[in-house]
Structure 1
Amino acid sequence: MAQQQTNAQAEAEQNAEVGHEAAAHTEVAGTADEHIAGGTFPPFDPATFGSQLLWLAITFGLLYYLMSKVALPRIANILEVRRDRIASDLGEAERLKRETDEAIASYEQSLAEARQKAHGIAHTAREEAKTHIEAELSKVEAGISSQLADAEEKISAVKLAAMSEVDAIAQSTTEAILEQLLGSGVAQNDIAAAVAAAKAN
């Protein structure tokens, strides 16, 4: 019996809850029907303008506070970091450009100095070669002159020796011819006088 009474009470409570829910749905539906019947959309209802403006002000104030205290400082911090990074990158690029220009100028100066040095070395080598060649040429010319002088002296000596022997050869030849022609000897004095007269002519 007690169990049956408990089951009955539970069913009664469930029925009561169902009745309350139905009543709530009926009330909500009735309110919606009243608004629809009135033809005014709630946000456009003049009776709710005050509360709407109040909530608008509160919402705007909260949004403004959040933006000014949270979002905007973060955005400003991000922009500042980005600006600093850009400035650092520009400074680094300017430094690299300056170093590159200095390196190019130093390279060009070194190249010009190397060219000038090479030109000086070539000029010096050319002058040294010219001096050496002139010295060697002078030595050769001096040797040739010395050899010519020696040759001329030898030729003169040979010529003098030959000329000194010409008289003797002429006398002997004249004596041999006269012996063949005349058949008798001729005096040496006569032959020498005849050779001297022939040389004089």
Structure 2
Amino acid sequence: MRQGWPLAAVSFATLAAGAAQAAEHGLSGEKASFPPFDPAHFASNLFWLAVTFAVLYWLMSKIALPRIGEILEERAGTIGRDLDQAAAMQAKAEEMAQAYEKALAEARSNAQGIAQAARETGAKESDAKRHATEAELAAKLAQAEATIAKTKTAAMSNVRGLGSDVAVAIVTKLTGQAPTAAEATEAVDQALARG
């Protein structure tokens, strides 16, 4: 409030001078004119204009404008800090985005590696099972072939003996004479060798 007292004093003095002049014109009986347009008051009005301008100029240059300058500098500093923080945050966000993309690429690569390893493991297990099954089937096939060969040999020996018996029976029935067992066996062996 101390800074505004010169302005208030100047304004009060101007009003007081104007009131005194109005009272003076009112007593003489003349019609009072508006003081700023009265040529008699031009000199005092110009004086007070110069004083008021000088006081206002001094107040503005010493008090108001430095404060406004400080405020503008503070705002510029705040804006600069905010812009620096925004740039730092943007750089950090870009780093985080790059790190995320890198982690995502690594995760994809790892997932592909795991899938490939699983496929290879599955293929190895499948091959092992297939080889085991093939070996088991080959063993069963060999056993079946051995059984078939044994059965065939047994059947052939039975066929030979049965063939001999049948040959003896047929020859006896046709000719009425029974051939010897050795002759019948030899004839069966010759027939088997041809067939």
Instruction: Report the TM-score, using the length of structure 2 for normalisation.
Output: 0.72
Cα distance in 1 for partners of 2:51, 2:190 equals: 164
- 71-80 vs 40-49, which moves further: 40-49
Matched, 1:36 2:30: yes
Paired amino acid for 1:63: L
Paired amino acid for 2:26: A
* Cα displacement string for residues 36-68 of structure 1 (whole angstroms, at most 9, x for unaligned residues): 35x765434444433332222222111111111
Counterpart of 1:85? Answer: 78
> C-alpha displacement at 1:84, in angstroms?
1.8
Counterpart of 2:103? Answer: 110
**Alpha-carbon RMSD:** 2.9
- 109-118 vs 78-87, which moves further: 78-87
| Alpha-carbon distance change, 46 to 30 in structure 1, aligned in 2, over 3 angstroms | closer
* Cα displacement string for residues 107-162 of structure 1 (whole angstroms, at most 9, x for unaligned residues): 12111111111011111111221122122212211221222122222212221222
Counterpart of 1:154? Answer: 147
Q: Greater RCO between the two (CA within 8 Å, min separation 6)?
A: 2
- 164-173 vs 139-148, which moves further: 164-173
Counterpart of 1:166? Answer: 159
Cα distance in 1 for partners of 2:115, 2:52 equals: 90
| Alpha-carbon distance change, 41 to 196 in structure 1, aligned in 2, over 3 angstroms | closer
Paired amino acid for 1:171: S
Cα distance in 2 for partners of 1:198, 1:42 equals: 164
Matched, 1:61 2:54: yes
Residues 116-131 of structure 1: matches in 2 within 5 Å? 116-131=109-124
Paired amino acid for 1:154: T
- 105-114 vs 49-58, which moves further: 49-58
Paired amino acid for 1:138: H
| Alpha-carbon distance change, 66 to 98 in structure 1, aligned in 2, over 3 angstroms | same
* Cα displacement string for residues 83-110 of structure 1 (whole angstroms, at most 9, x for unaligned residues): 2222222222222222222212211211
SS of the residue 1:36 aligns to: coil
> C-alpha displacement at 1:179, in angstroms?
5.9
Counterpart of 1:25? Answer: none
Is there any run of 5+ residues in structure 1 with no aligned partner, and where? 1-27
Instruction: Report the TM-score, using the length of structure 1 for normalisation.
Output: 0.70
Query: Aligned residue pairs: how many?
Result: 173
Paired amino acid for 1:36: E
Counterpart of 1:49? Answer: 42
Among 53, 63, 71, the alignment partner of 1:70 is 63
